[in-house]
Each structure stands twice: as structure tokens, then as C-alpha cells.
Amino acid sequence: MANQHHHLKDETAISTPRAPVTMERPVPTDLNYDRPYMARALKAVDGHHPYGSEGYDNQGYSVLQQHVAYFDLNGDGIVYPWETYKGFRAIGFNVIISFIAMILINGAFSYNTLPTFIPSLLFPIYINRIHKCKHGSDSGTYDTEGRFLPIKYEELWTKFAKTYPDKMNFKELWHMTNAMRVAYDPFGWVGNKLEWILTFSLAKDEEGYLAKEAVRGVFDGSFFQYVENLRKNQHLAKQKLK
């Protein structure tokens, strides 16, 4: 009987002293919403948003496609470099960062999404094939088809948000991206660092923390629209004061 109880404990253990990293980075054990282990095609869900972003039109896109679709300014299902640039400008990045982002994003990801083997000098990104751009050393929150995995998203905060449970400072974020690295994957290492640095720059609060809710909105693209609308409203308010 004693041995039976011992095996039961082993089966549910989430850490072990012989692998100290499992104690440093615990996984969530008390998620209070339906089937957090199940990948969601249309909704980026977490414990506070079990139905995803309320009122957000996902257009039938997968969550990964939603993340990209904000930059499809004319709605044709293709993101061209100039659309990437304009999208970055609309959410507040300066000319230099927007230009660099345009070069890196369309330069790195266009070819994988093309419907043919022939490269295009226009460097388009086809949204319906964006799942082919998933790279290594990422958080695993998107699966290989572009669905959203709530359990992987929750793990980010349980493992790496040490100061507060629902937000990270830059040091914690840097440690997180280091921990995500897989062997012999320099493209993934650099890509993941840049993606999270841009996310932090865009979404950090006044105290220098990146909130869990803001990151969830970046994953499904709703935060981009929120920031653009906020900037437009601020601009209108300034115009009225003149």
C-alpha cells in the first residue's frame, strides 16, 4: 500500500530536486476554466478570458492569422512590406524601427508563405500560410497550425513572472527568452528575442511591466487595434484643445 501511494505522488509531481529547473519554473496546477490543455483555433483564452477577446472580430482566422491580419491594411489576405511599415507606424513605432521591422519581418517570413517555389521581389506574406513561419525557440503558445494553446500561455506567467503573477519586467522577460532557446537554433534565438523586445516596447506600462492581458492581446492581434484606436483618440483630443 505504501508503494502504491508513492507512485501516485510521482504521477502528479510537477517538480523534483534532482532537476532543479523544474522547481525554479513551476507549471500551473489550478487553472479554473474549461480544458486549458485544448488548442483553440479562433480564441486566445486564459483564466480571466475563457471566451477570448470579447467583441473582437476574428474574421474566421486562426489566432496566429489574427496576429498578422492587423497589418493587412486592404483586407486582401496578403501583407506587403509597406503594409507592415504602416502598421508599425500606426501603433506608435518610429520611422527607423518601423522600417527595420518591415525589412526583417517580410524578408524573413515571406518566402515560406508563398504558394509557389518562385520567390517574389514584392516580399508578400500570405496570411493563409502563415503557420509555415512558426520557428523554434518560441513560447509554444501557437501550435504548428496556428492555434492557441492556453496551457502553454499560462506556463509563461507561472514560470517566469516572479515579481507579480500577471506581469513581467524586462529582466524576467529576458530570462524567459533565454529559457526558451533550443539547441542549434540561432534563427529562433534571434527571432524570439526581437519579437518579445518589440512586444515589451509596445505594451509595457508606466512602471516598466508587461501585463499578461496585453500579451494575450498581442497574440490575437486585438491589442494592436486597441493601441491604434487609443492613439487616434489622443490625437483628436489634442486637436480639440488647440
pLDDT digits (tens, 9 = 90+) for 32-81: 999 999 999 999 999 999 999 999 999 999 999 999 999 999 999 999 99
Same domain, 117 and 207: no
8 A C-beta contact, residue 64 and residue 134:
yes
Number of domains in the chain: 2
Residue 112 has pLDDT above 90, yes or no: yes
pLDDT digits (tens, 9 = 90+) for 166-200: 999 999 999 999 999 999 999 999 999 999 999 99
Look-up of cell digits 492557441: 148
Between the alpha carbon of residue 14 and those of residues 7, 17, 33, 116, 142, the distances in Å are: 14, 11, 20, 45, 23
**Which sign, positive or negative, has the C-alpha torsion 93, 99, 101, 105?**
positive
> Residue 148's beta-bridge partner residues?
40, 142
* Structural Rg of the chain based on CA atoms: 20
- Cell for 107? 524578408
Same domain, 152 and 225: yes
- Mean pLDDT for the stretch of residues 147-167: 98
Asked if residue 204 belongs to a domain, the reply is yes
Q: Which domain holds residue 117?
A: 62-133
Same domain, 184 and 231: yes
Residue 10 has pLDDT above 80, yes or no: no
Same domain, 162 and 238: yes
- Cell for 167? 506581469
Q: What is the residue type of 110?
A: S
